[in-house]
Amino acid sequence: MSSSFASPLSAIALIVRRSLRQHALSSLVTIVSVALAAGLLMSVFSIKQQTHNAFTSGATGFDAVLGARGSQLQLVLNSVFHLETSPGNIPYSSYLAIKRDPRVRWAIPYAVGDNYKGYRVVGTTEEFYDRYTYGDEQKLAFEGSGRMFREAYGEAVVGSMAAQATGLTYGSTFNTFHGLNFDEKAQHSTEFIVTGILKPTGTPIDRVVWIPLEGYYRMGGHEPRDKKTGKIIEIKPGVAIPDEYKEVSAVMLKLRSGGSGASLDVEMNQQGNIRTLAWPIGKVMADLFYKIAWANQVLEFVAYLVAIVAGAAILASIYNTMNERRREFAILRALGAKRSVVFSAIVAESATIAALGSLLGYVVYGVLISVAASIVRAKAGVVLDVTAYHEALRLTPIGMTLLGALVGIVPAWKAYSTDVATNLVPTS
């Protein structure tokens, strides 16, 4: 015997399956609209968290930045994320002084102001390659047989993204362009040869073309000037440039401890008024996110609105079938289905559409966060963790399914109220 107890749930499940199949097109359209809404909701919350983490977690490899007096945010955006203009330069002596400071583990100077095909050209020292670590204390490495530039030569190394975008490879020669925005008329005469392509780090340094600080100073248009007279100081090849004529845009710092940062912060930012210390970098960026939190709230509001519209789409999709289904409900009732079974079947159908849409929403989410990650990577060099978990990934499908069940109550009530006797005869 294949006889078995059949609960009302088994009847409801069959009714839902058959209804979805009978109204396949409208169900599919509604499921897709729910998927878009669910995907958008999950993406808004997840991208917000991932972006926040990527810019504030300190995975950029530096603890603090020393620069000209001004905005800490501008200093960080310019020197760490290579996004903003420089707030100005500080004397080379400031770099030497902070380098000698016992609270500082290491200090690396940056000189910015040039680009190559829109990618930043940054002058620094060989020490950058030796000292800099990112992520889990990983050191920089070169593709193939590449090596770090030598400071006395016209050599350069290129970040992975910059190399990919500009076409620079090992052995390429190139001339930099003045300014942070690419202008082909502003080409410098000094030629550099690429001695290495850095392996990807997932940090903003991937978007940078690195040249020796000395090379930067000796480039046409960057010659040191006498501070009093403004006259260009003549620099002869092989002769060192006096430190008093040199300037740096920023000094990137790795500190010995958190206490070192606090004490430097007091010294530079509160007691002094010549330089600015951006510390900790994560907090500076967190302040930025705090300031633009309203933008996230607008995005969240729009996402909630889209979810409500998707709920309304479910309601309209099912409600529109109610008239044609009155006879079906009457037949179900005549076969012995209780009102509660018919009511539950419609609520379950609505919730099922929302649940299926939410499942499909994971695909939409995957696409959206991948696109967002590639944009952030291209614009800021920062890598978003697209596989990271956010509560929205769990709560959105639950919330959308509950919303589906909620809006299903309206057509379900209509089904519940269907009069059996008057609807058992054909309407056409």
Partner 1 sequence: MESLLSIRDLRKSFRAPDGRDQAVIDVPSFDLAAAGQVALRGESGSGKTTLLHLIAGILRPDSGSILLDGIDLAQCSESQRDQLRAQHIGYIFQTFNLLQGYSALENIELAMRFGGTLDRSRARALLDRVGLADRMHYHPRQLSVGQQQRVAVARALANKPKLVLADEPTGNLDFRRASESLALIREVCSENDAALLLVSHDRAILNSFDTQHDLRNLNRAMAPLDDSYDEAGAASGSPQEVSK
| Residues found near partner 1 in the complex (CB under 8 A) | 1-6, 8, 10-11, 14-15, 18-19, 21-22, 327-328, 330-341, 420-421, 424-426
How far apart are CB 343 and partner 1 at their closest, in Å?
A: 12
- Whichever of 239 and 335 has its CB closer to partner 1, that residue is 335
- Whichever of 10 and 181 has its CB closer to partner 1, that residue is 10
- Whichever of 152 and 424 has its CB closer to partner 1, that residue is 424
**DSSP per-residue string spanning 339-389:** HHHHHHHHHHHHHHHHHHHHHHHHHHHHHHHHHHHHHHHHHH-PPP-TT--
Nearest to 67 by CA among 108, 126, 125: 108
Strand (E) or helix (H) holding 400: helix 391-416
Chain-centre distance of CA 265, in angstroms?
A: 29
User: Residue 89 is encoded by which pair of tokens?
Assistant: 């330069």
- Whichever of 63 and 328 has its CB closer to partner 1, that residue is 328
How far apart are CB 340 and partner 1 at their closest, in Å?
A: 8
- Whichever of 21 and 231 has its CB closer to partner 1, that residue is 21
- Whichever of 8 and 220 has its CB closer to partner 1, that residue is 8
Alpha carbon of 116 to those of 21, 164, 172, 310: distances in Å? 58, 13, 13, 47
Beta bridge partners of 211: 123
First vs last C-alpha separation in the chain: 41
How far apart are CB 10 and partner 1 at their closest, in Å?
A: 5
Chain-centre distance of CA 196, in angstroms?
A: 28
Indicate the residue type of 339.
R
